[in-house]
Amino acid sequence: MEAIVFANRSGWELSPLDRRYCPALLPIANRAVIEYTLDDLAQAGVSRVRLVVSNQAREIEALVGAGEKWGLRVEYHLSKVEESVTAVVPRLGLDPSTPCLFVRGDVLRSPNLKNLMVMATSLDGEVLQPLLGRRNAGIAILRPTSERLGELEWPLITPADTRGRVIELLPGDCNTLETWRDLLDANLLVASHAVPGLSPRGAARPSAEAVFFTGSHCRLPALAPQAGGGVIGEHCTLDKSCLLQGVVVIGTGAVVDRACRIQDALVMPHTYLGPGLALEGKIVCGDLLLDPATGGWIQVSDRDLLGDSRVATTRPAEKTPPLERTVALIGLTLTLLLSPLLLVTGGAWRPEKRRLFSNGGQHRMGWVLGGGNRGLALLPLLVLVVRGDLRLFGADPSRGIEEAGSLGVWGPVQLWLHSGASDEEVDIVQRHFRTLSPLRQLAMLWRWRRQARRRPQADDTTLTASSAIPGEPS
């Protein structure tokens, strides 16, 4: 049986999110709504799909393609935004005597199409419009000339008159995604395995109270102590001081800065959360902060608080001096020439890819060498100095954007401060370090190195902030 899928809702009822997403592309646990519909169709044995699209048609086609990911053959048909179903269907050239499966692809529902298709084979073309959770779920098996096609119009209305049709009450849930609360609930329920037939994807990592499903290429805090669970998309960066509570969904490419607390909230893909933000029961999409409980929303103009994680912050770029870039280039050259010796003397090196901040406030990917000397492990970051993204010496570029001063490859935090240092301790050390001249910065790092050598019984990561401040005991 051929399937006709409508994905032409405008999403005006979800404004201002409709500026960025049509309902078919809304992310639910880091997958678009339309993907769940196509999953259901593929499981039902459908092979050909006619996909009716309007706004964001290019984005939908880029995601779905020709349907090969699902084993489907997908054809695209353009319509006006929320154009009447009864106006679109005659243009599709369907056989008027052959029943088709009509589906709204911009509604989230438990998978039931396989059972529905089995049932349809015994009805010989009778009208079949099932209810899901006693609601019109936007699915029907009808002839293309049926007068009942109008019941697939948006908004969906559950029919009161059921004469002349077969009504089947299917198990599962249906969410029409008409409000922000619908969107938040859909994400949190799928993330917590509470929607029959729908499961979150990713690597399962247990927390203190639940499970997180995480995508690949993420940099995350320790999840085992977290008092929550949920879904974290691919290429996400969360500071180690973040707190995740309840059920959280964090979209692909999101960046969450230090000391943020997220509880029962949705962070949409490619969103940046600035330091110290607390979200509870909210939706964040780029620079938009939405409160489903009150219906209020604000657009934040300060990109150091909220914004697109792919866009530079408002912090002005700081140029790396030519002398430092030259020194970094020489250092890189020597590193390559001496790399066999480093491998012999430096221990078991493990290349690690990290997401860092540049001095222009942009996100950069850099390599470090884990498992050996901390100073030598940072040598690959000289590439970012040559490019002008970092200084040779400065604050830790992995901890977020500093209010002032430079981010650098080497500094007291990167080299000597113990790994369990508090944010306050880190801030004190870095604020003092950036007030020093380059020569005094080198002297400070050398002094810390001597102190580490005088502690043979302890690891070199056990120094504290007091060691960095002149006049205080070490």
Peptide bond into 155 cis (omega under 30): yes
**pLDDT at residue 140 is higher than 50:** yes
User: Minimal CA–CA distance to 286: which of 295, 277, 273, 297?
Assistant: 273
Which percentage of the chain shows pLDDT scores above 90?
53
pLDDT of residue 460: 41
For the residues of 140-153, what is the DSSP string, one character each? EEE-TT-GGGGGGS
User: Minimal CA–CA distance to 430: which of 241, 421, 473, 314?
Assistant: 421
Report the range of poorest mean pLDDT among 164-168, 303-307, 381-385.
164-168
Amino acid at 158: T
Report the range of poorest mean pLDDT among 131-135, 154-158, 214-218, 404-408.
404-408
Residue 409 sits at φ, ψ, to 5 deg, of -70, -50
pTM of the model: 0.69
Let me know the angle formed at the C-alpha of 264 by 242 and 266, rounded to the nearest 5 degrees. Answer: 80
Confidence of residue 311 (pLDDT cuts 50, 70, 90): confident
**Between these two residues, 356 and 280, which has the higher pLDDT value?**
280
Query: Could you give the residue ranges of the DSSP H alpha helices within 12-138?
Result: 33-43, 57-64, 85-88, 113-120
Averaged confidence pLDDT in the chain: 85
Confidence of residue 105 (pLDDT cuts 50, 70, 90): very high
- Enclosing H/E stretch for 377: helix 374-377
pLDDT of residue 314: 43
CB pairs under 8 A, 24+ apart, for 146-153?
A: 149/85, 149/86, 149/89, 149/102, 150/84, 150/85, 150/86, 152/6, 152/85, 152/102, 152/104, 153/84, 153/85, 153/86
Q: Distance (Å, rounded) from C-alpha 180 to C-alpha 203?
A: 28
Let me know the angle formed at the C-alpha of 52 by 164 and 45, rounded to the nearest 5 degrees. Answer: 65
What the block records as the tokens of 111 is: 């998978």
Q: Distance (Å, rounded) from C-alpha 430 to C-alpha 426?
A: 6
> What's the mean pLDDT in 463-471?
46
**pLDDT at residue 459 is higher than 50:** no
Amino acid at 233: G
Task: Tell me the pLDDT tens digit for each residue of 352-406.
Answer: 888 787 876 667 788 888 766 778 888 889 999 999 889 888 888 876 554 446 8
Q: Residue 387: count other Cβ atoms within 10 Å of its Cβ.
A: 13
Per the CB < 8 A criterion, the answer to whether 120 and 141 are in contact is yes
pLDDT of residue 343: 63
> What's the mean pLDDT in 160-168?
60
Report the range of poorest mean pLDDT among 9-23, 200-214, 252-266, 440-454.
440-454
